[in-house]
Amino acid sequence: MQEETSHKQKLAEFEARIARGEKIEPGDWMPDEYRRQLIRMISQHAHSEVVGMLPEGAWITHAPNLRRKLVLMAKVQDEAGHGQYLYHAAESLGATREEMLDALLSGRAKYASIFNYPTLTWVDVAWVGWLVDGAAIKNQMMLAHCSYGPYSRAMVRICAEETFHYKQGKEMIVQYMTSGTPEQKAMTQDGLNRWWQPMLMMFGPHDAESKNTAVLMRWGIKTKSNDTLRQEFINEEVPELLALGLTLPDPDLKFNEETGNWQIGPIDWDEFWRVVKGNGPMNKERLAARTKAHNDGLWVREALAAYAEKTS
């Protein structure tokens, strides 16, 4: 009985801290579910960053000029660093790198479904910058207010670097749509047709189907819902895409004067779950590439472990 009172009291104090806008730090008391949710979310975020290097990394050796090559190399390198920040943030909650990587490579853990789509042409690199990193920034600016200190602080640094990713992607699209050849304009429209809907899925299922959102918002991990963030991003980006003469691949898209929102047609959630469950266009290639990189790095981990043992 006494133990139960103590837990209730600790939970009440924890929730009062959240309500006051305090940051929860690694050594603080937290409900087991708060810890579990954060490990789930942060580790999958880290997996997304590292797997997200693959679609664009494939184009580094095919960049159209030296400047684009240098920019893309810097961007892909940034994503690796974001993965490291986020794995460290998850480790501050007690998760181990081995557990997290095993969950990824075994297919048990998730990562952003969008990275299971192929980058078929160079302009896809631009669309990943504008749309994928843009949507990630929208979500991550919200997470910068997350109640868990290490995660919110990682978001501040990551969002600063993502802004550069977003701008370099948008710069390319503007260039191709304003001064590109007819072939480049057609290639740009084709890319938008393929990336628009998978990008909308980055914000997660609709709120009514989002099984984690309620507890995440109760404890200040999320401060806006999936649908709210998705709508904000649509409202910001649609006018800019239309101004470039692009057509959104959504016949139901229309502006609602009353709400001020760009209303979209239905999102194909069957496609979403098919990809999340491992049956997307590139799932097998993505996990095979990550598995190869992990196996190729075994000798480094073994050498570091041997050195640590020798010097301890």
Cβ 78 vs Cβ 137: under 8 Å: no
Q: Which two tokens stand for residue 225?
A: 């819902």
Provide the minimum distance between the beta carbon of 264 and ligand 3HC in the complex, in angstroms, as a whole number: 16
Query: Which of 101/185 has CB closer to ligand 3HC?
Result: 101
Query: Which of 110/294 has CB closer to ligand 3HC?
Result: 110
Query: Which of 47/185 has CB closer to ligand 3HC?
Result: 47
- Count Cβ atoms below 10 Å from residue 13 Cβ, excluding itself: 10
Provide the minimum distance between the beta carbon of 94 and ligand 3HC in the complex, in angstroms, as a whole number: 18
Provide the minimum distance between the beta carbon of 277 and ligand 3HC in the complex, in angstroms, as a whole number: 10
Which residues are near ligand 3HC by CB under 6 A?
A: 40-41, 44-45, 48-49, 52, 79, 110, 112-113, 132-133, 136, 139, 162, 201-205, 210-213, 216, 226, 276
* Rounded Cα gap, residues 290 and 50, in angstroms: 8
Phi, psi of 256 (to 5 degrees): -100, 105
Provide the minimum distance between the beta carbon of 63 and ligand 3HC in the complex, in angstroms, as a whole number: 18
Question: Residue 34: what residue type?
Answer: Y
Q: Where are the alpha helices (DSSP H) in 52-148?
A: 53-57, 66-91, 97-105, 122-127, 133-143
Query: Which of 141/242 has CB closer to ligand 3HC?
Result: 141
Provide the minimum distance between the beta carbon of 41 and ligand 3HC in the complex, in angstroms, as a whole number: 5
- Helix, strand, coil % over all residues of the chain, rounded to 5: 70, 5, 25
Q: Report residue 306 CA to chain centroid gap.
A: 35
Provide the minimum distance between the beta carbon of 53 and ligand 3HC in the complex, in angstroms, as a whole number: 7
Query: Which of 92/139 has CB closer to ligand 3HC?
Result: 139
Query: Which of 193/212 has CB closer to ligand 3HC?
Result: 212
* Rounded Cα gap, residues 220 and 209, in angstroms: 19
Name the closest residue to ligand 3HC (Cβ). Answer: 52
C-alpha pair distances (Å), 161 with each of 144, 156, 267, 289, 307: 14, 9, 29, 25, 34
